[in-house]
Amino acid sequence: MRGRDAILVNTPDIELWPGGILRARGNRDARALARARAVLRRKRDGALLAAELPEGLLPLVPRLARESGIDAALDALAHRPRAGTRPGIDVVPVLPPTRLHDRLAQLGIDGEAYAEATGLPLQPEPAWLAFAGHDRYRRALWLRADAARGWRHLVAAAARDGVVLEAVSGYRSHDYQAGIFERKLARGLAVADILAVNAAPGWSEHHSGRAVDISAPGQPPAEESFEATPAFAWLQAEAAGFGFSLSYPRDNPHGIVYEPWHWRYDGPAGTDCDRRRLRLH
């Protein structure tokens, strides 16, 4: 993997991961992945579809050509930025949410009614994401490029003050969120009950690549008890200076439960000086 320059290229159904990050279950796939320059991963369930090897594309599923969205993914693979280069980070284009309407219909969710009831904005997915380090489970943490940079600065500043911040969750796709609903529906939960704890696919702030769920060593993930930690006290005092704010404070107007762990990057106070610095970076 090419460290902090690694990027994840996003297409409607399939993600293009850089080589060296994803692990395979079987030996054959493990050998291929070890040599892969890029890996195609189905967003819906995380299945590994193909590995791009120096000698060509190796399918990892029987009917790769029939895979939904494969043409767009192969096109993106052919045109993706070369190693060591990446797009500018000021403006990251987003994907049109073309599949979202069908996904919501399949799940029995009325998107317009949900948006109206919660007042939440639709969150399109960025066309690409930057590697922002690892989360507490040693998984790759992907964020929009500016948020990834902001996150690294936040973690470093906290560390200088003796505070360890751990990422629990960063970017996730519409399809991934839909998968959460599918699994819960299969277990017999009702849509309304799931919507009480999970944002509807398309409306989670995590889709934007700007939200990070934060925890601290020894703390459970996504629990209100995080509020009582030194890490939370540090964030309350310092995070705004790094462009991060709490998205869902107590009694927020969206009717979302208090989430002291969920922080969103909005950019450094919006000065021209900062923007210039970002461009030069």
Choose one: 53-61, 193-201, 225-233, 257-265; the region binding Zn ion (CB under 5 A).
257-265
Q: Minimal distance in Å, beta carbon 214 to Zn ion?
A: 9
Amino acid occupying residue 58: L
| Site for Zn ion contains 262 (CB under 5 A) | yes
| Site for Zn ion contains 264 (CB under 5 A) | no
Strand order in the sheet with 211-215: 166-169, 211-215, 262-265, 244-246
Closer of 41 and 262 to Zn ion (Cβ):
262
Residues near 262 by Cβ (< 8 Å), separated by ≥ 6?
Answer: 205, 211, 212, 213, 214, 222, 246, 247, 248
Closer of 136 and 262 to Zn ion (Cβ):
262
Q: Minimal distance in Å, beta carbon 76 to Zn ion?
A: 27
Residues near 141 by Cβ (< 8 Å), separated by ≥ 6?
Answer: 131, 132, 133, 134, 135, 151, 167, 170, 212
Q: Minimal distance in Å, beta carbon 262 to Zn ion?
A: 4
Token look-up 């399949």 returns 106
Q: Minimal distance in Å, beta carbon 172 to Zn ion?
A: 9
| Site for Zn ion contains 172 (CB under 5 A) | no
Site size for Zn ion, by CB under 5 A? 2
| Gap between the Cα atoms of 150 and 168, Å rounded | 16
Task: Classify 200 as helix, strand or coil.
Answer: coil
Choose one: 85-93, 98-106, 137-145, 262-270; the region binding Zn ion (CB under 5 A).
262-270
Residues between 184 and 213 with contacts to Zn ion, criterion CB under 5 A: 213
Q: Minimal distance in Å, beta carbon 205 to Zn ion?
A: 7
Written as six digits, the tokens of 172 are 């996730």
- Interacting residues with Zn ion (CB under 5 A): 213, 262
